[in-house]
Amino acid sequence: MNPLWLLLGGPALGAALSGTVVDEAGEPVPGAVIQAYDVLLRAEETETDAMGRWRIEDLAAGTWRVRAVPAYTDNLVARWHPAAQDFCGGERLQLHASSEQAGVQITVPDGAAIRGRLVDSMGAPVVNEVVWAVGADEATESLVARPTLSGPTGEFVVRGLDTPPDGAGLWTLYARVDGFPDQYLGGVYDGDDAEPVVLSEGERTDVGTWGLNDGILVRGHAMGPGGPLAGASVHVYAGGQVVTVSSEDDGSWEAIGLPPGDVLPWVSAAGHALTYFPNHDRPTEYAGTVPTEGGLLDVGDILAPREARLFVDVVDADDGSALGSLSALLYNSDQTVGRGNQVDSAGRLVIDRLHPGDYRLYLWGESVGYADTWALDEDGDPATVSIEETGDMDPLRLALPRAGTVAGQVMEEDGTPLAGASVALRRLSDASLAAATTDREGRFLVGGLAAGHWTAQVAAEPLCPGDPGAVTMYFGPTVNPAWQDSVLLEPGGRVTGVEFRLPADQDRDRMADTWEKATGLDPTRDDSTEDPDDDTYDNLTEYRLGTDPFTPAAGPPGCGGCRGRTAAVVLLLPMAALRRRRRT
């Protein structure tokens, strides 16, 4: 069933969740992080007090799942309310505006632990650094990673590790220590090659002494036309990791703690062009390769020229007013490097630290009623911006035509905002597509639209296999011509106050529960392919035609009212409903 497009209601906010966290003995668990996730998988957080109590306020109406993550010092594992190991196993909590669901108790069981001792390559303890335990197989990779801190002798214990419900699971250790490469247990840099630790429920395993790889040392000098560059940011890539350091007064710099491998450094300094080794505007060549641990590479000088700066005044193509709050990215000729910035409130865009060369400019204007687009030339192709020398260019003027927007809200049948729904628009003349996802209040804005007739598809896919769904509104052409409704956008026009109401679909058979109940079908199971009246039209087709699934058809499918009878429940979308939209 298609939704009616109605005037927007206000946001549904002010709901709350509250409860307690206890261990398996029923004792309160203080200091646990409570995370309430909505259907967008965005979380609101709080922490349990000394009595294990918690409360989260100002939540949007809708569906939430809640998880408790015990403090890293506790040997307790994370659980979803009431005591589930995974997100989809957690109970769905339905909140309504200005309501509170209290008594949400989460029970967290004891966990397993890994202990060991962290040292450097000389055997000296690595103190007060974070060690993580992360899942290392299919059964554990989705479980909560747990951190700990190494002690005065490098000793560490990672507590609260979960195990698969049907037996042992694999974990490994990961260290991110200043001055060392990020690395896994076993002296490797790839998690797939890490040394696994087999853990069963409640087990404690000692991995012994873990000696960290030192990595390699890379050094060089940051230089400009006037000599050494002091305080430049030097970024050095090697072995899949990047280290950033600052240059000294003489331009010298050293980067330690990188994995062995091919090395690429680049320099960014105020007043100078962003420069890759040795003097390029883009990655062109490696500075060298360091194949073994403890190796050294001196890359010599990186020569950064004085910067060029691009100024662009962004204005409305119709009235010449300044356009602010847009984002822009200037790409080099092969789009390997881009430099971005925000257009300020006066409509001025400044891109600095550029080399001379040819560039193309892309702007994101959808959020303020303009298209996301390349800056175009007179032929409608992406325009080339040529910078011939360093220094400040005279401002360019870029006039953007206003694009159309459609804004509104997606709701459930009872008026509850439907977050995470996808709203896809299609232009009938050329099948152009544009889309958005609804926020926590079910609101959406689809911008950057050209003039013409646009039709919609609105869908809300459940997060988990057992979650109830909602009936999708489909693009035309469909079985029922009345479902091909569209909205006409004038050039730069705005349509606001659009509301979609999606019918509930508990069994996810693409038919509305209300229709199934009214016609005598079963809304708790998928009966979409059945044909109780033996007229060759299954129940899903009957639903989309708005006809009675228990009365044989009098004509061919797809002809709407030609079947010689009235549908048991009228589900067609009135075309006149679109006239109530607000246009500007």
SS3 assignment for 529-578: CCCCCCCCCCHHHHHHHCCCCCCCCCCCCCCHHHHCCCCCCCCCCCHHHH
Q: Give the DSSP H or E segment for 453.
A: strand 452-459
Cβ contacts of residue 328 below 8 Å, gap of 6+?
312, 314, 340, 341, 342, 343, 349, 351, 361, 362, 363, 364
CA distances from 505 to 285, 502, 526 (A): 57, 9, 10
Cα separation, 254 vs 232, whole angstroms: 12
Our CA dihedral for 39, 45, 47, 52, rounded to 10 degrees, sits at -20
Q: What is the pLDDT of residue 416?
A: 83
Residue 193 DSSP one-character state: G
Cα separation, 490 vs 108, whole angstroms: 57
On whether the CB atoms of residues 192 and 184 are closer than 8 A, the answer is no
Q: What are phi and psi of 506, to 5 degrees?
A: -60, -45
3-class secondary structure, 517: helix
Q: What is the pLDDT of residue 582?
A: 43
3-class secondary structure, 518: helix
On whether the CB atoms of residues 318 and 287 are closer than 8 A, the answer is no
Cβ contacts of residue 460 below 8 Å, gap of 6+?
410, 418, 420, 421, 422, 469, 470, 472, 502
Q: What is the pLDDT of residue 6?
A: 32
Q: What is the pLDDT of residue 366?
A: 84
Q: What are phi and psi of 103, to 5 degrees?
A: 70, 25
Considering only CA atoms, give the Rg of the chain. Answer: 30
Name the residue among 224, 185, 189 with its Cα closest to residue 206: 185
Name the residue among 280, 290, 197 with its Cα closest to residue 237: 290
Cα separation, 411 vs 495, whole angstroms: 18
**Mean pLDDT per 10-residue interval, the chain, length 584 residues:** 34 80 98 95 96 95 94 97 96 91 97 97 96 94 95 98 89 96 96 94 95 97 98 97 98 98 98 98 97 97 97 94 94 95 96 97 89 88 93 92 92 87 92 91 91 91 89 67 74 90 91 94 95 94 90 63 35 30 44
Q: Give the DSSP H or E segment for 95.
A: strand 93-95
CA distances from 231 to 246, 300, 417, 446 (A): 5, 17, 51, 44
Burial of 237 (0-12, 13-18, 19+ CB in 10 A): buried
